[in-house]
């Protein structure tokens, strides 16, 4: 690596980092204006916003924009060399176009290694804090929108819910079936099923019915109110 290679690599890396800082800073400012109402609503201080959110959002956008910033750096450096007729002097000294690409390749390799480290170690840690901040102060709570949910919970057991409220942990029009091959052996139904987070159990409410295939010929028993938890 000679003086010319170091000169081009230095200018390339400076242009790359300058492009990253400028573009990501503009995006963060736009993002702040869009989410400012959420920050005000939760009465967040500026230090918490910067060090709890944007310090993790900055490397995320830097990685996202790395391809375009590399392209901008290459074009900027090459255009600057051409404007100063430095490329003419380089070619006149006997350097070929292929040899002129070497410092760009070295600079791209350095940037690639930095991005590899960013993706492998920095972003996974930062994304945990960034996503937790967004869930707490920006995004609305997740709501399950599925209808007529069928779940296999065992080799012979199948659960069904018409709908499920994940905020209150309640499933509506619940059914639990035991199936042997193609034969329904047992069916348990309830108007609703709710999760008790303190005891870590499910409760059937307000009325439930249990019917067995072995008692088909008998008169079905009426539905009974669920035992209070």
Calculate mean pLDDT across residues 6-12. Answer: 96
Which pLDDT belongs to residue 143? 79
From the list 74, 29, 21, 66, the residue with the least C-alpha distance to 49 is: 29
Which pLDDT belongs to residue 224? 53
From the list 164, 185, 187, 160, the residue with the least C-alpha distance to 174 is: 160
pLDDT by residue (tens digit) across 69-107? 999 999 999 999 999 999 999 999 899 989 999 999 999
pLDDT by residue (tens digit) across 144-196? 888 999 899 888 899 999 999 888 889 999 999 999 888 888 989 899 999 98
6 vs 210: which has the higher pLDDT: 6
User: Where in the chain does DSSP place strands (E)?
Assistant: 147-152, 157-165, 170-180, 183-196, 201-212, 224-225
pLDDT by residue (tens digit) across 114-124? 999 999 999 99
Q: Apex CA 70: angle with CA 4 and CA 51, to 5°?
A: 115
Which pLDDT belongs to residue 59? 96
User: Where in 36-128 does DSSP place strands (E)?
Assistant: none
Which pLDDT belongs to residue 43? 94
Which pLDDT belongs to residue 166? 87
From the list 34, 27, 50, 57, the residue with the least C-alpha distance to 138 is: 34
Spatial CB neighbours of 224, under 8 Å, sequence gap ≥ 6: 207, 208, 209
* Residues linked to residue 155 through DSSP beta bridges, in sequence order: none
From the list 87, 81, 66, 86, the residue with the least C-alpha distance to 16 is: 66
Alpha-carbon gap, residue 203 to 175, rounded angstroms = 13
Which pLDDT belongs to residue 120? 95
Predicted confidence band at 1 (pLDDT cuts at 50, 70, 90)? confident
pLDDT by residue (tens digit) across 18-58? 999 999 999 999 999 999 999 999 999 999 999 999 999 99
pLDDT by residue (tens digit) across 203-228? 887 666 766 655 443 444 445 554 44
Which pLDDT belongs to residue 229? 41
Q: Please tell me the pTM assigned to this model.
A: 0.66
- Where do the structural domains in the chain lie, given as residue ranges? 3-137, 147-225
pLDDT at 6 over 90: yes
């Amino acid at each position: 690596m000679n003086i010319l290679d170091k000169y081009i690599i230095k200018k390339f890396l400076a242009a790359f980092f300058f492009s990253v800082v400028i573009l990501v800073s503009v995006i963060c400012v736009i993002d702040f204006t869009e989410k400012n109402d959420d920050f005000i609503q939760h009465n967040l201080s500026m230090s918490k916003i910067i060090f709890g959110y944007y310090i993790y959002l900055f490397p995320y956008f830097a990685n996202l924009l790395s391809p375009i910033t590399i392209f901008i750096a290459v074009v900027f450096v090459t255009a600057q060399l051409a404007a100063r007729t430095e490329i003419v002097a380089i070619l006149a000294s006997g350097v070929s176009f292929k040899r002129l690409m070497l410092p760009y390749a070295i600079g791209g390799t350095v940037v690639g290694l930095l991005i590899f480290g960013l993706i492998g170690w920095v972003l996974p840690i930062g994304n945990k804090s960034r996503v937790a901040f967004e869930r707490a102060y920006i995004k609305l709570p997740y709501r399950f929108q599925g209808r007529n949910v069928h779940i296999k919970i065992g080799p012979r057991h199948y659960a069904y819910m018409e709908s499920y409220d994940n905020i209150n942990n309640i499933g509506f029009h619940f059914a639990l079936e035991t199936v042997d091959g193609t034969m329904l052996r047992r069916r348990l139904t309830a108007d609703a099923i709710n999760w008790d987070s303190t005891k870590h159990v499910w409760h059937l409410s307000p009325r439930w019915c249990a019917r067995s295939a072995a008692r088909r010929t008998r008169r079905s028993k009426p539905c009974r109110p669920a035992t209070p938890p």
